[in-house]
Structure 1
Amino acid sequence: MFSSLLLSELRILFSRRRTLALLVALAAIPILIAVAIRLASSPGTGRGPAFLDQVTQNGLFVGVSALVVAIPLFLPLTVGVVAGDTIAGEASHGTLRYLLVAPAGRARLLVVKYLGAAAFCIAAALTVVIAGTLIGAALFPVGPVTVLSGTTIDVGEALLRFLAIAAYVAVSLLGLSAIGLFFSTLTNVPVGAMAATISFSVASQILDALPQTEWLHPWLFSHYWFSFADILRDPVSWASFGDNALLQAGYIAVFGALAFGRFLTKDVLA
Structure 2
Amino acid sequence: MSADTTTHSSPGARPAVGWSLLGSELSVLFRRLRTWAMLLALAAVPLLIALAVKLSSRPVAPGRGPLFLDRITQNGLFVAVTALVVCVPLFLPLTIGVVAGDTIAGEANMGTLRYLLIAPAGRIRLLLVKYAGAVAFCFAATVTVAASGALAGVVLFPVGPVTLLSGDTISVGESVLRSLLVAGYITVSLLGLAAIGLLISTFTDVPVGAMAATIVLSVVSQVLDNLPQLDWLHPWLFSHHWLGFADLLRQPIDWTSFGANALLQAGYIAVCGALAYAKFSNKDVLS
| TM-score, scaled to structure 2 | 0.93
Q: Does 1:119 align with 2:126?
A: no
Secondary structure at 1:18 match in 2: helix
Identify which of 100, 113, 118 aligns with 1:96.
Answer: 113
Distance apart, 1:10 and its partner CA: 0.7
For 1:29, the equivalent position in structure 2 comes to 45
Q: Does 1:194 align with 2:234?
A: no
For 1:15, the equivalent position in structure 2 comes to 31
Q: List, as ranges, runs of 4+ consecutive aligned residues in structure 1 with deviation greater than 3 Å.
A: none
Identify which of 47, 54, 58 aligns with 1:42.
Answer: 58
Amino-acid identity (%): 69
- Greater helix share, 1 or 2? 1
Counterpart amino acid of 1:22? M
* Number of equivalenced pairs: 270
For 1:166-204, what per-residue CA distance to the aligned partner results, in whole angstroms no more than 9, with x for missing partners? Answer: 000000000000000000000000000001101111111
Counterpart amino acid of 1:39? L
Identify which of 255, 258, 264 aligns with 1:238.
Answer: 255
Distance apart, 1:43 and its partner CA: 3.0
1-structure distance, mates of 2:29, 2:81: 26
1-structure distance, mates of 2:134, 2:25: 10
Pairing 1:46-125 to 2, within 5 Å after superposition:
46-125=63-142
2-structure distance, mates of 1:228, 1:43: 26
| TM-score, scaled to structure 1 | 0.99
For 1:6, the equivalent position in structure 2 comes to 22
1-structure distance, mates of 2:58, 2:40: 28
For the Cα contact (< 8 Å) 1:34–1:136, is it kept in 2? yes
Larger radius of gyration: 2
2-structure distance, mates of 1:141, 1:186: 51
Counterpart amino acid of 1:260? Y
For the Cα contact (< 8 Å) 1:43–1:52, is it kept in 2? no
2-structure distance, mates of 1:155, 1:15: 34
For 1:56-85, what per-residue CA distance to the aligned partner results, in whole angstroms no more than 9, with x for missing partners? Answer: 000000010011110000000000000000
2-structure distance, mates of 1:82, 1:140: 34
Counterpart amino acid of 2:33? R
